[in-house]
Structure 1
């Protein structure tokens, strides 16, 4: 290529490039300078550091499409749970839950509490601009693409979360959405599945999210129902996207409960049909168990439930709710109430459905991990290597090129993230180097916080951040905002 530099900060030599576009892999060196990819091909010249990637895959850094890392990136800026599995960027503010804006003194009902380690280390931000400023003032090891959560807005504005918002409350929330977009938020998320937002009407959501129209932002949703009414919930999500004329992201798509096993035969064709006439995307995680707040709705406690964390009873982390209830001589509901605030893991999905959704071509990958607690879901540390190892290499659900695309280029495209998700000259140097033959997740439900195998190097904005099993203490992450917002 012409105009190639003669000196580099870093050269990756001899690797096999999978560029994040689904194009066939090819042998090439990669040259990096000033945080950008400046050469791909046969790279000649000097470098401050050279990495020998012989026998390894050189891919775009993975973009985690669905996280709850809003406060973790500030409290635990090393983000070892993410960089150790090849993740270089995280999308935050999902499921309607964000740490900005939050009005001082307003309630913090679950699931808002899931964003805090509970030890007072998490600051709260009255404006989204303040949160973005905090992210920039104290960079983490990963890039952060933040969304604003509708549940956070309701907690700050609506004085009775058991009802729909009034016209004036809708207007106030809409103003907060506009402020967040002006500050760089990449979109708005909702979580009408959860008690603080389930009373919100479709019309409330549309009117609160009006500033999204024409902004380039996305509408991401943890839908109202992923069980018996999953089809109705999909239709509501599409209707909101159509009314706003925005990209819809169906978060962690699943069908929940034995009565609904196999219903991906209904949901995926419905999503495909919607994609033909509007912008619709979806993500999922590669596990048949979910993790969120410990519910106090009996209908949500019918499956196997393992407590991940409990404020008043930390000693029960990792135990089955049914066993705790039996030990205490109470039913599951009463035990769940006594454990609050708490998070839990729910074994509520069929593995065949998980595989079907993963294999669905447009499905992105998101971990949906909760970053606090002693016994988190293993997806927090293992999502991306699990896709590469178990579902791609062992089960052969898709090619390695497709797997990488689902975790990089596709995600960047759907969220409007520019200059990332693809290895190309001029793009930010977010790169993951891994061994395709050995990459795998290592954590289990009993021992979840274990770094994955086979991730050799992770580079964030040109800075070597993970190298041969060890964090390099780089904090080169940036805030990813919508195009045109600095």
Structure 2
């Protein structure tokens, strides 16, 4: 009688990085079902499938600690761009935005527009129903959902520019607790965005105190990442200190040339807070440009109030518009010149797609308008549904933040895929390239990090931050989330001009023991799980 195979899959002859930051070693990996069951010399073992990893490196599947892929999950369940760059788990619901808390209501137009473009709509009424929706549909990577403070606030207070009443704060707490009971991993805020930005320290600390009771984290997109970066980090530290909750500083950077170098100050603040006992960590994407709403990048808060339609209507008023132009140029006198606008490119602009990828400077010149006037007209025409890519992050800051021992890698992506519909959107190349870029540019080419350090920042560090005990590491008993790559060729190919491009060098990806990428080709497996913080069986 033939011997029954001991393993479903054996990965053989590879060089292993175990996710702890330890040096690599030669070993085979044996997988049975969803889990790794053996690591060592398995050359004599029998397996249903053998993956030969000669000259390849084997690592835990990358954990993307900062994404917005809950937005794309309903229309891209395969999460193709994430899988293609080696990501097997994503922390979703960052920057205060939670699709799972959005409603089929005009107030949630932003969330609805993303789905409507792909023929989808909101089919849930609470956080748990959204998670059940994903579980029933299937998902390509594991999802760890956060509760977005901005969406939470909209559910209770709409776009009101004030602090909550006691009853409203209680209502927000109740919704937050329902989500935490459903398995959310913590709270995120996006204080640069409204309505999250209307909150003060006390409101955030009150909600975070509830998060602490559930052993969750607080991830924050700071109130400002440029001129008042230091003050914004201090505010985040104050919230975390009051609530005694672990703090994650999202996509840490210093925007604007005059602010380059401020990361020396902010990282020292992190170190000091950690020395005093506060659990503070960071994440980062390795690019010289950020991408967000053109409204947020250019308009003062006084112009952003209300819905997008209300904002656009106010900007049509000549007196109000004159006042806003004055405020903008008082805050940014350099914007009187064309040169700074050459570094700001129109991103996703579904109302006027012909503008995508072009600089504001070029477009303003063609229109024979002052750049600020051009931007205001564009915001009116698109009702604010336009993003922009801003080249304002210094390379020295990127390297400094990357080398900090508590910085994890996070893409800030909405997972996408290369198809006819997605190609219409001018997105950020981080969606396809973040993790291969670190391994190719910053490890192999520039030696900013050792390979073991980089893998730790992509696996073990985010796993520990989220409280995952059986993901993020290569060891017996862990789930078989595994990425196999060629260290000599791995690199991003997505660019700001052509962002929809899969990387090279990521050869195999396994999610919960199922092959999701085979010899560099997507299998479209839906092997991911919605990981609920209160369900240790799935963690």
Please indicate the TM-score interval, normalised by the length of the shorter structure: over 0.9
Aligned residue pair count? 481
Label 1:179 to 1:483 Cα distance change in 2 as closer, same or farther (>3 A). Answer: closer
Q: Deviations over 1:167-203 (max 9, x none)?
A: 2111111111100000000111000111322221111
Larger Rg: 2
> Which residue of the partner structure matches residue 345 of structure 2?
306
Q: State the TM-score, normalized to the length of structure 1.
A: 0.95
Alignment of 1:21-40 (within 5 A): 21-40=20-39
Aligned to 1:458: 509
1:402 maps to 2:446: no
Residue ranges of structure 1 left out of the alignment (5+ in a row): none
Residue number in structure 2 paired with 1:324: 363
| Structure 2: stretches of 5+ with no match in the other structure | 300-327, 416-421
Q: Check 1:124–1:194 CA distance in 2 against 1; reply closer, same or farther (3 A cut).
A: farther
Task: Work out the CA distance in 1 between the residues paired with 2:259 and 2:153.
Answer: 31
Q: Secondary structure at the match of 1:438?
A: coil
* Aligned ranges 1:196-215 → 2 under 5 Å: 196-215=195-214
Partner of 2:482: 431
Any residues of structure 2 matched to 1:104-115 within 5 Å, and which?
Answer: 104-105=104-105, 107-108=107-108, 112=111
1:469 Cα deviation from its structure 2 partner: 2.2
Alignment of 1:273-284 (within 5 A): 273-276=272-275, 277-284=277-284
Q: Deviations over 1:23-56 (max 9, x none)?
A: 1110000000111001100113221110100111
* Corresponding residue for residue 178 of structure 2: 179
Q: In the TM superposition, what are the counterparts of 1:116-135 in structure 2 within 5 Å? A: 116=115, 118-135=117-134
- 2:530 is aligned to 479
Per-residue Cα deviation, 1:320-353 (whole angstroms, up to 9, x for no partner): 1222233334424324413331122111111111
Between Structure 1 and Structure 2, the one with more helix by share is 2
1:334 equivalent in structure 2? 376
Q: Does the C-alpha gap of structure 1 residues 445 and 97 become closer, same or farther in structure 2, counting only changes over 3 Å?
A: same
**Partner of residue 309, structure 2:** none
Q: Which residue of 1 aligns with 2:88?
A: 88
Cα distance in structure 1, aligned partners of 2:374 and 2:31: 55
Given that residues 112 and 121 in structure 2 are in contact (C-alpha distance below 8 angstroms), is that contact kept between their aligned partners in structure 1?
no
Report the Cα distance in structure 1 between the residues aligned to 2:54 and 2:410, rounded to whole angstroms. 29
SS of residue in 1 equivalent to 2:95? helix
Q: Give, in whole Å, the separation in 2 of the partners of 1:348 and 1:107.
A: 32
Task: Work out whether residues 460 and 473 of structure 2, in 8 Å CA contact, stay in contact via their aligned partners in 1.
Answer: yes
Q: Which moved more, 1:346-355 or 1:425-434?
A: 346-355
Please list the CA deviations of residues 136-168 of structure 1 after superposition, one character each: whole Å capped at 9, or x if unmatched.
111211111110100001111113432222221
Instruction: Answer yes or no: is 1:78 the counterpart of 2:58.
Output: no
> What secondary structure, in the 3-state scheme, does the structure 2 residue paired with 1:292 have?
strand
Q: Which piece of structure 1 moves more, 302-311 or 7-16?
A: 302-311
Q: CA RMSD in A?
A: 1.9
State the partner residue of 2:496. 445
| Contact residue 64 and residue 409 of structure 2 kept, 8 A | yes
Q: Distance in 2 between matches of 1:157 and 1:312?
A: 30
**C-alpha contact (below 8 Å) 2:102/2:122 kept by paired residues:** no
